């Protein structure tokens, strides 16, 4: 692992002394411990290689004895509006801390109920390679699913490529989903689980889609960053989502720019980039499409947003205007791309030359308006998204 951080502290108590161990020695782990004093752990994110501040942190705490411990952030804006999340099964499932344990904007507590109990904590619900492997097991042997290596990362890790189709006919359409262009943005992978669950559900509409479309999913663009617990966002000299113009610095972005046009060929295609926004605050606690500058492409984005709004069946709300950030508003300006093009800007260069629509979808970490975000309702929104894309393609007549 890139980083191994362990912190120990003895405190006086009767009849024994308690101890806590903090480490990030696992896939996705990230923390800096400033100190442990009495019953409080003082922590912040490891920002190695990051320009400015970001908020990804993920650590394991092991309490020697049953006890309530306090965790105080020494950097601002690294807890969501709902506080933190915890996992007692090694990071496979996550729960939000009880509201009574969310003590302030930078402080939370957790009661360890037995000796030598290990609990993982994070601002979000981390998702790494092993989470994906556990999820995809149930589909092993499915004839509509093919998993292979898209490329190798800069550090030699396999970057997966998932193909889903009936593979019996030449597809009329191709659909591409990419995720984790920013390593820390883990909620995108729960969306992908929902997309895959829907596609392989055997539902008639999904079987009809698979008969005419081939779907490719690249779940971990910044695979090294995901596994090593990097922020990924604002990496120096530029991050993966500013690496789609000029000479690519990263192996995966270079491979996308080369291989995806070859894969799409002359087939009409769609490209969706899944992201997470800031941690909290105005404009960040809702799902939204990021509008493009080209009027004709903007129109197609709005069409897809409208279809999603009216066909959605899951619990998370979505409205075509409220959940759409038009180009020129807030940060969605050309000045945001001074270091290089993001994926969606690169994909947009193919609009009118085979590409039907591309959009970035920003999906929040903790709240969609007043609605709490969970792994399950995130998966359901992924299902809503692929159904909306099916309806969108139903309104397009492929040329033969």
Residue 328 burial (10 A CB sphere; 0-12, 13-18, 19+): exposed
pLDDT (0 to 100) of residue 74: 98
Q: Please check whether residue 69 is in contact with residue 39, taking contact to mean a CB–CB distance below 8 angstroms.
A: yes
Residue-range domains of the chain with CATH? 7-122 (2.60.40.3120), 129-394 (3.40.630.10)
CA 165 from centre of chain? 24
> Along the 400 residues of the chain, how does pLDDT read in single tens digits?
444 444 544 333 333 346 999 999 999 999 999 999 999 999 999 999 999 999 999 999 999 999 999 999 999 999 999 999 999 999 999 999 999 999 999 999 999 999 999 999 999 999 999 999 999 999 999 999 999 999 999 999 999 999 999 999 899 999 999 999 999 999 999 999 999 999 999 999 999 999 999 999 999 999 999 999 999 999 999 999 999 999 999 999 999 999 999 999 999 999 999 999 999 999 999 999 999 999 999 999 999 999 999 999 999 999 999 999 999 999 999 999 999 999 999 999 999 999 999 999 999 999 999 999 999 999 999 999 999 999 999 988 654 4
User: How confident is the model at residue 168, as a pLDDT?
Assistant: 94
pTM (2 d.p.):
0.95
pLDDT at residue 9, as a whole number: 42
Can you give the pLDDT at residue 395?
A: 87
Contacts of 1 (CB under 8 A, 6+ apart): 24, 25, 26, 27, 29, 228
pLDDT at 398 (0 to 100): 52
Instruction: Please give the pLDDT value at position 397.
Output: 65
* DSSP code at position 158: E
- Cα dist from 391 to 238, 307, 312, 333, whole Å: 37, 7, 11, 30
d(CA 304, CA 1) in angstroms, rounded, equals 41
Residue 56 is given by DSSP the state -
Q: What's the rounded Cα separation, in Å, for the pair 29 and 183?
A: 12
**CB contact at 8 A, 154 and 251:** yes
CA 239 to chain CA centroid, Å, is 15
163 to each of 176, 210, 213, 299, how far by Cα in Å?
9, 11, 10, 28
Element (DSSP H or E) covering residue 278: none
Two tokens, residue 203: 């539902």
CA-only gyration radius of the chain, Å = 22
CB 27: neighbour CB atoms within 10 A?
Answer: 18
CB atoms closer than 10 angstroms to residue 326: 16
């Amino acid at each position: 692992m890139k980083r191994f951080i362990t912190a120990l502290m003895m405190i006086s108590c009767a009849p024994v002394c308690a101890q806590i161990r903090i480490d990030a020695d696992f896939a996705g782990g990230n923390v800096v411990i400033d100190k442990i004093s009495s019953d409080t752990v003082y922590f912040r994110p490891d920002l190695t290689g990051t320009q400015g501040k970001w908020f990804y942190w993920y650590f394991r705490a092991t309490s020697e004895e049953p006890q309530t411990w306090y965790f105080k952030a020494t950097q601002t804006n690294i807890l969501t509006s709902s506080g933190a999340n915890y996992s007692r099964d090694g990071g496979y499932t996550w729960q939000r801390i009880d509201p009574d344990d969310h003590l302030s904007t930078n402080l939370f507590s957790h009661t360890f109920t037995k000796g030598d109990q290990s609990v993982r904590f994070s601002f979000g619900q981390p998702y790494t390679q092993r989470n994906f492997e556990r999820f995809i097991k149930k589909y092993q042997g499915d004839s509509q699913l093919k998993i292979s290596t898209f490329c190798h990362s800069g550090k030699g890790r396999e970057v997966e490529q998932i193909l889903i189709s009936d593979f019996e006919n030449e597809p009329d359409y191709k659909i591409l989903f990419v995720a984790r262009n920013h390593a820390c943005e883990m909620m995108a992978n729960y969306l992908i689980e929902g997309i895959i669950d829907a596609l392989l559900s055997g539902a008639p509409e999904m079987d009809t889609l698979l008969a005419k479309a081939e779907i490719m999913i690249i779940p971990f663009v910044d695979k090294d960053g995901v596994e090593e617990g990097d922020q990924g966002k604002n990496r120096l000299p530029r991050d993966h989502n500013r690496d789609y113009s000029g000479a690519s610095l990263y192996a995966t972005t270079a491979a996308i720019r080369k291989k995806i046009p070859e894969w799409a060929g002359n087939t009409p295609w769609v490209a969706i980039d899944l992201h997470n926004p800031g941690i909290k605050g105005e404009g960040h606690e809702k799902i939204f499409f990021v509008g493009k500058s080209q009027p004709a492409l903007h129109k197609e984005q709005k069409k897809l947003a409208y279809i999603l709004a009216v066909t959605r069946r899951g619990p998370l709300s979505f409205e075509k205007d409220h959940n759409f950030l038009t180009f020129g508003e807030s940060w969605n300006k050309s000045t945001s791309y001074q270091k290089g093009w993001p994926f969606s800007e690169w994909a947009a260069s193919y609009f009118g030359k085979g590409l039907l629509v591309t959009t970035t979808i920003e999906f929040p970490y903790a709240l969609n308006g007043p609605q709490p975000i969970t792994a399950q309702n995130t998966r359901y929104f992924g299902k809503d998204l692929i159904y909306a894309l099916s309806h969108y393609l139903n309104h397009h007549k492929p040329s033969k």
